Structure 1
Amino acid sequence: MLRQLALGWLAFILCPLLLVAANYQLEELAATVRSFYGEKAELRVRAWRQLIADSGQLSETDKLSSVNDFFNQLQFVDDIEVWGQKDYWATPVEFLGAAAGDCDDFSIAKYFSLIELGVSDDKMRLVYVKSLTYNQFHMVVAYYPTPSSVPILLDNINPTILPATQREDLVPIYSFNGQHLWLMKEKGRGQLAGKASRLKLWTDLQQRWRLNKLKKPVKSFDV
C-alpha cells in the first residue's frame, strides 16, 4: 500500500515535469520549422503534433483513420518539382514543411506517425505497388490486424481505407518495414527477401530522421 502511494505521488510530481519537457521539444521543433520553412509550415507541424497527442488513446482502427485523413490533406506533387530530384523520400517534417510530396512521402509520414502512436511495426508494411489506373508505380501503407489477416491499405489516391482484396487497381511488387523486405506474390504477406537496409532510400531516410536533418524544397506548396 505504501509503495503504491509513493508511486502515485511520484507520478503526480513527475507528470508536470514530463509535460514541460514535451512542450519544450515541441517549441524547439516549431522554432526550427518556422525558421527553415516559414510560419504556415510551423502551423502544420503543430497540428500534426496535436494529432499525435489527441490520438494516443484511440483504437488502432481510429488511429489509422485520423492519420490517413490528416496527411491526405496535403498536395500530391512529383519529387522533381518539390525537391529537385527524381526520387527523394522526405521525412514527415520535410513533407509538412513543403506542404506537398509524392506517394512515398504520404506513406512514410503515415507510417512514422502510426509507429509513434504505438501501432506495432510488425503490423505494418510500406508496400510498393503498380497502379493500374495511372499505369505507374505507387506506394501505400498496409496494416495487418492479425498475422494472417488480409491487410487494409492507407492510400492518398483513394482516401477510403479498404482491404487489399478490394483494391484491384493495385498490383503489389515488394514491401518493407523497419526491419525486413518482402517480395509480394499476392495481396498478402509475400516472401521474405532480406533486410530493409537493402533499400538505400529507406536507409538514408531513417538516418536523416534520427539526426533531424532537413532539406529545403525547391518550391513551396503552402496550402
Structure 2
Amino acid sequence: MTVAVNVFAATNKQQIEKIKHFYGEKAGKRATAWRSLIQNSQHLSEQKKLKAVNNFFNQFIFISDEKLWGKEDYWATPYEFVGAGAGDCEDFSIAKYQALRELGIPDKKLRLIYVKALEMNQFHMVVAYYPTPSSVPLILDNLKGDIRPAIKRKDLLPIYSFNGSKLWLMKNRGQSQVAGKASRLSLWNDLRDRSNKIILHRPKNTY
C-alpha cells in the first residue's frame, strides 16, 4: 500500500510540474487542486465522487474552441483543460469522465453523450452515469450545475454516445443501439493518444 501511494504521489507531482512549467504558476495551482481531488476522493461512494468531480470542473471558464485554440473543433485533454483553465463542453465532459475513471468508476457505467441542447439550439456534450445497466442515467453537465436524472433533462436530445470501448447511436429518448467501437471516432482516438503521452498544446490565453 505504501509503495502504491508513493508511486501515485510521484506521478501526481510529475503531472503538476509539467502543467506548471508549460502553462504557468496559476495553472500549476489548478493542477495541484485537480490531483488532490483524485487522491482525496478515492474512498468516497460513487455518488459522492460524481458530485465532487462535477463541482470541481464546473468552476472552470466556458469558452469556444475558436477563441481558445484557434480551431473550429478541438478536444482538449484533461491536462490541457486544467492548464488553460477553460474550455468548451467537450473539454468539461472529457475531464469529468477521465477523473471518474481514475476514481475507479467502471467504464461500463459511464458514457460521453453528444446531445442537442434544445434551449440553446446548439450541439453539446455531457457525461452520463449508469448505476446499473438498466438504470436511468444521471447527467453531469456544465450548463446546469446540479446532477439530474436524464428524464429530468428534457432540454437535451441525445444523438450518440460513447465510452472507452463502445459507440452507441441514440434511437429514441432513453434508448440506444451499439454502432461499433469508440475507435471509430477520430477526435476520440487523437485525444486518447495525446492524453496517454501527455502531449500539450498552448492555447491563445490561459485563465
Task: Name the TM-score, length of structure 1 as normaliser.
Answer: 0.90
Partner of 1:118: 104
State yes or no: 1:169 paired with 2:164.
Answer: no
**Alpha-carbon deviation of 1:189?**
4.6
Partner of 2:53: 67
**Contact 1:183/1:191 (<8 A) preserved:** yes
Seq. identity, %:
56
Partner of 2:186: 200
State yes or no: 1:147 paired with 2:145.
Answer: no
Aligned length: 207
Q: Deviations over 1:49-90 (max 9, x none)?
A: 101111101110000000000000000000011111110001
Alignment CA distance shift 1:128-1:89 (3 Å): same
Partner of 2:71: 85
Between stretches 168-177 and 181-190, larger displacement belongs to 181-190
What residue ranges of structure 1 are gaps of 5+ in the alignment?
A: 1-10
Residues in 1 aligned to 2:131 and 2:138: alpha-carbon distance in whole angstroms: 8
**Contact 1:182/1:193 (<8 A) preserved:** yes
Partner of 2:202: 216
2:23 is matched with which residue: 37, 44, 53? Answer: 37
What residue ranges of structure 2 are gaps of 5+ in the alignment?
A: none
**Alpha-carbon deviation of 1:19?**
3.3
Residues in 2 aligned to 1:155 and 1:88: alpha-carbon distance in whole angstroms: 19
Alignment CA distance shift 1:210-1:35 (3 Å): same
Partner of 1:104: 90
The letter of the residue matching 1:46 is: T
Residues in 1 aligned to 2:106 and 2:11: alpha-carbon distance in whole angstroms: 24
The letter of the residue matching 2:59 is: Q
1:127 is matched with which residue: 100, 106, 113? Answer: 113
Q: Deviations over 1:99-155 (max 9, x none)?
A: 100000000000000000000100010000000110000000001111101111000
Q: Deviations over 1:176-208 (max 9, x none)?
A: 000111001233250111111111000000000
Larger Rg: 1
Task: Name the TM-score, length of structure 2 as normaliser.
Answer: 0.97
**Alpha-carbon deviation of 1:20?**
3.2
The letter of the residue matching 1:203 is: N
Runs of 4+ in 1 over 6 A off after TM superposition: none
**Alpha-carbon deviation of 1:33?**
1.1
